[in-house]
Amino acid sequence: MTTKNGDSAMNKKYLLGVDGGTEGLRAGIFDTSGSPLAYASTTYPTQFPAPSWAEQDPQDWWNALGKSVRKVIQDSGIGTEQIAAMAVDTTCCSVVALDKNGNPLRPALIWMDVRSAEQAEQMVETKDEALRINSNGNGPVSAEWMIPKALWIKQKEPELFKQAVTICEYQDYINFHLTGRLTASINNVSARWHCDYSKNGVPETLLEKLELEELSEKWPEKVLRLGEVVGGLTPTAAEHLGLHADLPVVQGGADAQIGMIGLGVVKPGSLAFITGSSHLQLGLSEKPFHGTGIWGTYADALLPGLYTVEGGQTSTGSVVNWLKNLFGEPDYEALNREALKLPPGSEGLIVQEHFQGNRTPHTDPRSRGAFHGLTLKHDRGHLFRATIEGVAFGSELILETMRSNGFFPESVVVSGGATRSELWLQIHANVSNLPLTLTKNPDAPLLGCAILAAVGAGFYEDIPKAVEQMVQIDRVIEPDQKIHEEYQPFYETYKASYEELKNIRQKLTE
């Protein structure tokens, strides 16, 4: 059997991508054109030992990696010798403390663990220059991030902190056990560790002000760019995964940001719109900037010489799902049909989607959701459409904040749950008056890992060249200018809602 190029099918090479998520770990095998062969997944548990705590056992990550990789190879039908390289993305801010052998000293504090809220406030009080990536130094600093979690460990578990030889991320733990080499991803350290490798690297003055200077000695000394080779699989790791020893392991990073690569967002002015239970807006700029209401920019986090800007909504798809469940509907079909019949603005009904607070631009964890403008005419179709419109208004407010700080998205590529709803896609396009591009492979993080593996294996010179060959466009949702204009008074009302509702709610605590 031969391929179109005349090569034996048995000689054809493939890439292995691994996505370590919150609920489990997935693996995918792709060819060098970006086409998937097979996927496999393994779940693992999360423990919640106290309010605001969320922990996972790193050994569960490692076990899931072995199961998923073995399963995906079996399902793909290819030989292990055909795997040319692998790359891993993981959740970021999932912090582990390790002994000298790389074994965990305690369960990992995963990204959603926010026990370190007090330590995050201590960081803001330092007013250090490194905090400019947090709404231009105005804060707040997220309790999810690396330094507040490490500070919590030092303050609350001082003996364990002293014992820890290494404090790092899920990403670094996995790569160490794959290769025996301890490295960190520039993606994580730039976006979540307050490091700027375009300048001084480690935020020494910030750590000094926090009396946390020793943390920099516990971080991995070597920081690699995306697509660089970490090392080859050790014999032990190769046996665990069912692969051959010395297989190149390529540096990955945070799941959402590796998803940018899988969406083809690698040029200045482009933006990845990642939807799901929450929304993320991640863009690339040629110039650094820091402003109120945004996170970033992060120097070199994705590609050398480019800066990543970030916005996010805490509760989006989760609000729509809450409403669906409230109505007792098994799926979205009936609700979509009812909402589609209604005019823009849902006949005066406005929804503030802050059911779990606001991430950007207000960064207010105490903000709450609201429906206002209700009349007896409004039915569940109105509530459903208005909720989607409220989410779209929140997204547009983030884009407006980015524009006010000098970043003007020229193209938006969307992935995630919203891509399954034509109504949702069209409303988002109309509200923001921007075309939304969809790619053929919606599994952006895994494809992003495959792209990094292809670069590390030498199939492509760099990430942008790999993206040109491995990311294919499916279709574009064009906005309707007339409907965009109709949305403006509703959008302005949505924007005004935040301060008014904030003032009303404050009276509850007086």
Confidence of residue 418 (pLDDT cuts 50, 70, 90): confident
Which of 40-49, 92-101, 313-322, 395-404 bottoms out in mean pLDDT, i.e. has the lowest? 313-322
Helical H segments across 294-365, by residue range: 317-327, 333-340
In a domain, 488, yes or no: yes
In a domain, 272, yes or no: yes
In a domain, 1, yes or no: no
Q: How far apart (Å, rounded) are the C-alpha atoms in residues 395 and 281?
A: 8
Please give the DSSP secondary-structure letter assigned to residue 140. P
In this prediction the pTM is: 0.89
**Per-residue pLDDT averaged across 133-137, rounded?**
90
In a domain, 346, yes or no: yes
For the chain, give the mean pLDDT: 93
**Per-residue pLDDT averaged across 320-342, rounded?**
93
81 and 103 inside one domain: yes
Of 253, 276, 305, the residue at which a domain comes to its end is 253
Note whether 410 and 269 are within 8 A (CB).
yes
- Structural domain tally of the chain? 2
Q: Residues 32-71: pLDDT tens digits?
A: 999 999 999 999 999 999 988 899 999 999 999 999 999 9
Q: Residues 260-289: pLDDT tens digits?
A: 999 999 999 999 999 888 899 999 999 999
Nearby residues of 396 by Cβ (< 8 Å), 6 or more positions away:
431, 432, 491
For residue 399, give the 3-state DSSP assignment.
helix
**Per-residue pLDDT averaged across 85-106, rounded?**
96
Answer yes or no: is pLDDT of 150 > 80: yes
72 and 210 inside one domain: yes
What domain range includes position 213?
Answer: 9-253
283 and 236 inside one domain: no
195 and 338 inside one domain: no
Q: Tokens 């989410």 belong to which residue?
A: 391
In a domain, 3, yes or no: no
Nearby residues of 283 by Cβ (< 8 Å), 6 or more positions away:
265, 269, 270, 271, 272, 308, 309, 310, 402, 407, 409
220 and 303 inside one domain: no
Answer yes or no: is pLDDT of 5 > 50: no
Q: How far apart (Å, rounded) are the C-alpha atoms in residues 80 and 14?
A: 9
**Per-residue pLDDT averaged across 484-489, rounded?**
97
Q: What is the CATH number of the domain that holds 215?
A: 3.30.420.40
pLDDT of residue 8: 60
In a domain, 219, yes or no: yes
**Per-residue pLDDT averaged across 322-330, rounded?**
92
Confidence of residue 225 (pLDDT cuts 50, 70, 90): very high
291 and 232 inside one domain: no
Confidence of residue 315 (pLDDT cuts 50, 70, 90): confident
485 and 382 inside one domain: yes
In a domain, 258, yes or no: no
Answer yes or no: is pLDDT of 118 > 90: yes
Of 253, 274, 308, the residue at which a domain comes to its end is 253
Q: Which residues of 485-504 are buried (b: 16+ CB within 10 A; e: fewer)?
A: eebeebbebbeebbeebbee
% pLDDT > 70, the chain: 98
Q: Which residues pair with 312 in a beta bridge?
A: 280
**Per-residue pLDDT averaged across 396-410, rounded?**
92
229 and 368 inside one domain: no
In this structure, the dihedral spanned by the alpha carbons of residues 44, 50, 53 and 56, taken in order and rounded to 10 degrees, is -20
In a domain, 423, yes or no: yes
27 and 138 inside one domain: yes
Answer yes or no: is pLDDT of 377 > 60: yes
271 and 206 inside one domain: no
454 and 377 inside one domain: yes
Rg (CA), the chain: 23
Q: How far apart (Å, rounded) are the C-alpha atoms in residues 316 and 390?
A: 9
331 and 451 inside one domain: yes
Phi, psi of 509 (to 5 degrees): -105, 0
| CB count in 10 Å sphere of residue 63 | 15
Of 211, 233, 253, the residue at which a domain comes to its end is 253
Answer yes or no: is pLDDT of 135 > 60: yes
Helices 317-327 and 380-404 pack at an angle, to 10 degrees, of: 170
Note whether 11 and 446 are within 8 A (CB).
no
Confidence of residue 194 (pLDDT cuts 50, 70, 90): very high
Specify the amino acid at residue 325.
Answer: N
Answer yes or no: is pLDDT of 1 > 50: no
